[in-house]
Amino acid sequence: MKPLTRFWLSATTLVMAGFLAACGGDKKSLHLFTWAEYIDPDLVTAFEEANHCRLVIDTFDSNESMLAKLQAGATGYDVVVPSSYMAAIMWDEGLIQEIDHAKVPNLKNVDPAYLKTLAFDKDMKYSVPYMLSNTGIAYSVSKLGDVDPSWAIFDRTDLKNRMTLLNDVREALGAALKFKGYSLNTTNQAEIDEAVEVLKGWKENLAKFDSESYKPGIGSGEFFAVQGYSGDLLQVMDENEDIGYYIPKEGTSIACDDLVILKNAPEPDLAYAFIDFLTDAENAAQNTEFVYFLAPNAEAYKLLSEEVRSNTAVFPPSDVLEKSEVIKDLGEQNQLYSKAWDRVKSGN
Amino acid sequence: MKPSRVPLYTTLAVLAFLYLPIVVMTVQSFNAARYGGEWKGFTFSWYAKLFEDRSIWSATRNTLVVAISCTAVSTIIGSLAAWVLHRYRTRLQRLHYLVTYAPLVVPDILMGISLLLFYVNLKILLGLGTVILAHVTFCISYVAFVVLGRLQDFDYSLVEAAQDLGAGWGRIVFRVLLPVLGPGILAGAMLAFTLSVDDFVITFFVAGPGSSTLPVHIYSMIKHGSTTVINALSVLFMTVTFAVVVISQFFSRNRPVH
């Protein structure tokens, strides 16, 4: 009977440990709710040391599930990192606080060009931009040589069955809209119709519409040109010297994740300190070098290494950036796109 | 007549189906290439990265604390529930059966959201405790039904015989019930442990700040993470699991069978 008693004792102890572990020590903690591997761990340590606190990171896998959780009333988080469109929704829902600019002196570093052209929240009323990524084209340098940086590459019949576009209506049709010189958030039926025709032409040359296997596909040389997200493609390029990247000159879609402070944040002061810390030029540059997305921080641009600055996937040329847009949630008008997508897919 | 080769091939095919993915994953965890497919040389760098990654370790610790606590609690409650369900056939027990059955068919997302709303309304702070509680809620059902299956073959006259011979309930439980039901309870406990380690949807909703588990972390890596580190972690997990199985078999072989 002894071993059994010991078993129950240890089991109860473990259960107790579980409940106890839920409570922290006496140090203050800042709770960050974000995507995995989205901050340089060295910066986490530096922030903890500078502010005598713990920085606890929890992660979510989609904007929507994060919103559902917070709407249901989950509390305890201070700073959240949603995509821009979701930050706008959270603001409308009254989940996040207004940013007090006096508490974040480093906001002056944030790239004014980004705020003016791309940002939804142009005055940083409720959000501070954290990281930008873009959609571009990765191509095989040895097979294609010098290419004209344009969406027109998908017209090339000599690359038939060796190219892919993203299996996402807003990205694929958005590429065609940009190619035609229209906004990728257009709700004009005539413009969408034109783009559908372009996309149907491209479809003839594609291997497939694909959002997953294009990464190993371009890496192994199966595909010669693929539309994809900069973050993914950079990882592939890291391992394969033969892959080049460009952002089409007609413009592309840009995605931005923002820093926001929850209304019921337990530690608002630490939250402000954290945002100020991340918008500091040196820290923003260090973070960009680590996560390989671009922190839109004008002062930090000067500190970036030559390697990053010359990498268009991380650091898009400013004239292309000006022509680019952030994909907006169009609400009821989204059906214009889903119908157009059906037409492209079915070929009618 | 020559014995048929079909069973042999079937066995081999099933074994390959079960273990090939694990072999592939193990090999990939030493592959220098981040994306599967091409072999770019042998490396330990993913393991090195794994040991430096604070967030993965805290998620692993959370996962183990939750899984072990949840297994301990749900195995006890689940086994008791099974015993009662088997022993008594009143209308209350029919209701009990339904209540125990429900978590098996309720979609995870519903359970996650409703548990979260429940905690929020009762002003219970979210943390590891709430995750353990949520896991216990659905693990009880699995344990109960596994043990119930074992009870179908249980001959109640064994208990009566023990009583005839003068055994009290304590002795009956430890000398008769546990040895006979042991394998069923153990299977239930293992199932509960696996389910708890696996669960993403419910955990995501009921986890509080600082109590993310491994599945929650891994799902979030879809956006930026490198799965190779996870390959390395899985290999370590697998090694530990196999070691435990081998050791436990070694010990059980030396003991007389009941």
- For A286-339, what is each residue's pLDDT tens digit? 988 888 888 888 888 888 888 888 888 888 888 888 888 888 888 788 888 888
For residue B237, being part of any structural domain is answered with no
Using one digit for the tens of pLDDT, what is the confidence trace for B38-81?
A: 677 788 888 888 888 788 888 888 999 999 999 999 999 999 99
Chain A environment of B223 (Cβ under 8 Å): 35-36, 38, 61, 231
| Residue B9 covered by a domain | no
Fold classified for A133-252+324-346: D-Maltodextrin-Binding Protein; domain 2 (3.40.190)
Q: Is residue B51 part of a domain?
A: no
| Section A113-137 average pLDDT | 88
Q: A68 vs A92, A263, B159, CA distance in Å?
A: 14, 16, 51
- The residue in chain B having the minimum alpha-carbon distance to the alpha carbon of residue A67 is B205
Listed in sequence order, the residues at least 6 apart from A18 whose beta carbon sits closer than 8 Å to its beta carbon are B65, B66, B69, B128, B129, B132
Among chain B residues, CA nearest to A70: B205
Tell me, yes or no, whether B242 lies in a domain.
no
**ipTM of the complex in this document:** 0.72
* Residues sharing a CB contact under 8 Å with residue B75, sequence separation 6 or more, in sequence order: B143, B185, B188, B189, B192
> Residue type at A31?
H
Alpha carbons B180 and A94: distance in angstroms, whole number: 58
Task: Give the mean pLDDT of A264-281.
Answer: 92
DSSP state of B9: H
pLDDT, tens digit (0-9, with 9 covering 90-100), for A201-252: 898 888 888 887 788 788 888 899 999 888 778 878 877 888 889 899 898 9
Helices (H), chain A: 2-22, 41-51, 63-71, 84-92, 112-117, 141-144, 169-179, 189-205, 214-219, 230-239, 268-278, 281-291, 298-301, 306-309, 318-323, 334-346
Tokens representing B86 are 């088997």
A225-229 and A243-246: which strand pairing?
Answer: unpaired
Selecting from A14, A33, A76 the residue whose C-beta is nearest the C-beta of B65 gives A14
Interchain CB contact of A71 with B (< 8 Å): no
Interface contact A38, partner B, CB < 8 A? yes
Residue A238, classified by CB atoms within 10 Å of its CB into exposed (0-12), middle (13-18) or buried (19+), is middle
Q: Which residue from B151, B146, B149 is spatially nearest to B176, judged by alpha carbons? A: B151
> Domain range for residue B169?
56-225
- Here the tokens at position A33 are 């709710």
Chain B residues within 8 A of A14 when measuring between CB atoms: 65, 68-69, 72
Pick the residue of A13, A14, A226, A257 with the most B CBs within 10 A to test the interface with B by mutation. Answer: A14
Closest chain A C-alpha to B242 CA, distance in angstroms: 22
Contact with chain B for residue A327, Cβ under 8 A:
no
pLDDT digits (tens, 9 = 90+) for B93-120: 888 888 888 888 888 888 999 999 999 8
Residue A153: exposed, middle, or buried by beta-carbon count in 10 A (0-12, 13-18, 19+)?
buried
Which residue, B26, B250, B223, is CA-closest to A65?
Answer: B223
Query: For chain B, how many helices (H) and strands (E)?
Result: 12, 0
Q: How far apart are CA A37 and CA A141, in angstroms?
A: 30
Query: Domains in chain B: how many in total?
Result: 1
Q: Enumerate the residues of chain A whose CB falls inside 8 A of the CB of residue B36.
A: 216
DSSP 3-state of B126? coil
Mean pLDDT of the B247-258 span: 62
Structure tokens at A115: 């705020």
CB nearest B210 (choices: A4, A12, A58): A58
CB-CB under 8 Å, B36 with A216? yes
Asked whether residue B82 is assigned to any structural domain, the reply reads yes
Residue A49 has pLDDT above 80, yes or no: yes
Report the DSSP beta bridge partners of residue A118. Answer: none
Q: Is B252 exposed, middle or buried (0-12, 13-18, 19+ CB in 10 A)?
A: exposed
DSSP string covering A45-109, please?
A: HHHHHHHTEEEEEEE-S-HHHHHHHHHTT-----EE--BHHHHHHHHHTT-BPPP-GGG-GGGGG
What is the model's pLDDT at position A20? Answer: 46
| 3-state secondary structure at position A39 | coil
Which secondary-structure segment (H or E) carries B154?
A: none
Is A30 part of the contact surface with chain B (CB cutoff 8 Å)? no
Q: What span, in angstroms and rounded, lies between the C-alpha atoms of A304 and B122? A: 50
More confident residue, A169 or A11: A169
Please count the other Cβ atoms lying within 10 Å of the Cβ belonging to residue A90: 24
Using CB atoms, pick whichever of A14, A41, A58 lies closest to residue B72: A14
Cβ separation A239–B126 shorter than 8 A:
no
Per-residue pLDDT averaged across A30-49, rounded? 89
Task: Render B50-107 in DSSP notation, one character per residue.
Answer: HHH-HHHHHHHHHHHHHHHHHHHHHHHHHHHHHHHHHH--SHHHHHHHHHHHHHHHS-
Q: Which amino acid appears at position B119 of this protein?
A: Y
CATH of the domain at B112: 1.10.3720.10
> Is the pLDDT confidence value at A97 over 90?
yes
The answer to whether residue B43 sits within a structural domain is no
Q: Are A93 and A66 in contact, with CB atoms under 8 Å apart?
A: no
Give B1 to chain A, closest Cα distance, Å.
50
Interchain pair B211, A23: CB under 8 A: no
- B231 falls within a domain: no
Say what the pLDDT of residue B252 is.
61
What are A226's strand-pairing partners?
A138, A164
**Stronger pLDDT, A20 or A345, i.e. the higher one:** A345
Q: Mind listing the pLDDT tens digit for each residue in B24-39?
A: 888 888 887 766 566 7
pLDDT value of position A21: 47
Q: In chain A, where are the structural domains located?
A: 27-126+256-315, 133-252+324-346
- Which of B45, B130, B196, B204 best tests the A interface by mutation, with the highest count of A CBs <10 A? B204
B145's tokens: 């039904």
Tell me what pLDDT residue A25 has: 54
The angle, 0 to 180 degrees and rounded to 10, between the axes of the packed helices A169-179 and A189-205 is: 100
Q: Which of A15, A77, A219 sits opposite B209 (nearest CB)?
A: A77
Whether residues A74 and B204 touch (CB distance < 8 A) is answered with no
Who wins on pLDDT, A23 or A71?
A71
Q: What is the pTM of this model?
A: 0.77
Cβ-based contacts of B33 with chain A (< 8 Å): 219, 239
For A27-126+256-315, which CATH class?
alpha beta
User: Residue A182 in contact with residue A337, Cβ under 8 Å?
Assistant: no
Predicted local confidence at residue A128, as pLDDT: 93
Two tokens at A344?
Answer: 């492209």
